[in-house]
Structure 1
Amino acid sequence: MTIDFYNRFIRENTGIINKICRAYTDTDEDYEDYFQEVCLQLWRSHSFFEDKSAVATWVYRVALNVCLTHFKKAKKRVETGSLKEIDMLRTETDATEAEQFEQLYKAIKKLKEIDRAIIILYLEDKSYKEIAEILGIKTNHVGVKVNRIKNTLKQLIHG
């Protein structure tokens, strides 16, 4: 791994990789595995990056693909009944910002894979056009999905 590769693809995009890996894992151990796998896949495929899109867009795509692939494999091994109860997401009026952030991520983890990807990109302040480009869907579909996802998250968090 060269320092140029590390700076351009990993260091400058660590926040992106962190958020995506966090949304698809429940434990620190899984998070570290996903993060390493994303970095490895970026290294393996960086020679195919053609500068037709922003580096961050490409990193999002790679990270999402890696995390979705691993998440689907892990999901097959775990029974769906092992998910935590929705009641754990209920907020108290005096919840701290950190607690609210944690509740949001717990709720995001309960979403469908594509919905997770959309909301993570949305929370990263990506435009609907950028989200559509990264995920390969239509821009107007992104807007509809974002509104539905917001409503679902409100339901999960507030009951």
Structure 2
Amino acid sequence: MEAERNRIFGEWIEGHQAILFKVARVYGANQTDREDLFQEIALQVWHSIEAFRGESSVGTWIYRVGLNTALAWNRKERKHGHGRNDLEAASGVLIAPTERDPRLDWIYQRIAELDEVNRSLALLMLDGFSYREMSEILGLSESNVGVKINRIKSALAEKLAKEEHDEL
């Protein structure tokens, strides 16, 4: 049984690690937090294998586990994280910078500023989940998902327009 669980876990992580990285990127405040959160999500996926009943796709299941783990982790970090020093500010001195797409950084920063439900919806939307799948993962009605997504898109478009106008 343990060997089978390890095999399934390896397949799931290999096939869906991008999901875990995206969730960790949006919910982790800095690189260290993102790495810790990724490990926590992976651990929860491993523990949840036996609970998977196949009522949804593996990707949907992993998203649900990842988002629930990230939300719980964030609540715990907020409760215990006061006064922590962020070493990420010094990382530029220690590590050579890598080229990143500033548009991608912008969208992830804006998503991280959203409340928990909207942050989750934005991630699911970016990954192409249907409204039905999003409603199943988050426990919202499909119509509520649609309304929230339209509001998220409008808010992001307004922020982008404002920032572009401020640059002129």
Query: Which one has the largest radius of gyration?
Result: 2
State the AA in 2 paired with 1:131.
M
In structure 1, distance between residues paired with 2:20 and 2:71: 13
SS state at 1:52 partner: coil
Aligned-pair CA distance for 1:97:
8.0
Does 1:63 pair with 2:63? no
Q: Which has the higher contact order (CA 8 A, sep 6+)?
A: 1
Q: Aligned with 2:55: secondary structure? A: coil
Alignment TM-score, normalising by the size of structure 1:
0.82
Give 1:43-122 correspondences, 5 Å limit: 43-76=46-79, 77-78=81-82, 98-122=101-125
Selected match of 2:151 from 141, 145, 148: 148
Superposed CA RMSD in Å reads 2.0
Structure 1 residue 99 displacement after superposition:
0.4
Aligned to 1:125: 128
1:98-129 C-alpha deviation (Å, 9 max, x unpaired)? 10110111111100000000010001011111
Contact 1:107 1:157 in 2 (8 A): no
The percentage of counterpart residues that share the same residue type is 36
Q: Distance in 2 between matches of 1:5 and 1:133?
A: 23
1:99–1:144: structure 2 CA closer, same or farther, 3 Å change rule?
A: same
User: Are the counterparts in 1 of residues 9 and 45 from structure 2 also a CA contact under 8 Å?
Assistant: no
Native 8 Å contact 1:103 1:157 kept in 2: no
Query: Partner of 2:36 in structure 1?
Result: 33
Q: Structure 1 residue runs of 4+, over 6 Å off?
A: none
Deviations 1:22-59 (A, max 9, x none): 11012111111000001111111211111111111110
- Structure 1 Cα separation of the partners of residues 15 and 145 of structure 2: 26
How far is 1:78 from its partner? 4.3
Give the TM-score of the pair, scaled to structure 2.
0.78
Residues 3-18 of structure 1 mapped to structure 2, 5 A cutoff:
3-18=6-21
Instruction: Decide whether aligned partners of structure 1 residues 151 and 78 sit closer, same or farther in structure 2, where only a CA change above 3 A counts.
Output: farther
- Return the alpha-carbon distance in structure 1 between the equivalents of residues 131 and 34 of structure 2: 27
Q: Distance in 2 between matches of 1:108 and 1:155?
A: 14
Please state whether the residue corresponding to 2:101 is helix, strand or coil. helix
Structure 2 residues not aligned, in runs of 5+? 84-98, 163-168
Q: How many angstroms apart in 2 are the aligned matches of 1:78 and 1:121?
A: 29
- Letter of the aligned partner of 2:147 in structure 1? V
Give unmatched runs, 5+ long, in structure 1: 80-95
